[in-house]
Amino acid sequence: LEEAAFQLQQIFRIDISISLNILGIESMRAGRYRIAYTCFKLAADRGYSKAQFNVGLCYEHGRGTEKDLEKAAFYYYQAASNCHPMAQYRYARYLLSHRPENEQDRQQKAVTFLEQAATAGVAEVRAH
């Protein structure tokens, strides 16, 4: 019974995240950027990779929140770590365009994420 209850909780959690992400997409289309960002953020905080990617986009473009490339990179990394192909590409692009103290480590991470994105079929990877 406890296992069944746990599985129901997981399903409910996933369904809520999907619903919030869809609501965010519809809000974005309607030009309600702040509401969209809030919906994406709630779903991202629950670990939903599509919403994590969308929060990254919001931060990158300043839609619904202030523009902040470091926060965008953080959310792209979260989604990339959950196998989101476009997040892998965008995070790799961020790593390659920002010169850190440990440049070689960042470049290696970028190459790894670019390879994963290419394997998933992200066409933009060909430009790198």
11-44: pLDDT as tens digits:
776 788 999 999 999 999 999 999 999 999 999 9
Contacts of residue 53, Cβ cutoff 8 Å, sequence gap at least 6: 75, 76, 79, 84, 86, 87, 90
* pTM as predicted: 0.76
Q: Which residue has the tokens 């790799």?
A: 92
Angle CA 22–31–94, to nearest 5: 75
pLDDT of 86: 94
Complete domains list, the chain, with CATH: 2-121 (1.25.40.10)
Distance in angstroms (rounded) separating the CA atoms of residues 43 and 51: 6
Distance in angstroms (rounded) separating the CA atoms of residues 11 and 128: 38
How confident is the model over 45-77, as pLDDT tens digits?
Answer: 999 999 999 999 999 999 999 999 999 999 999
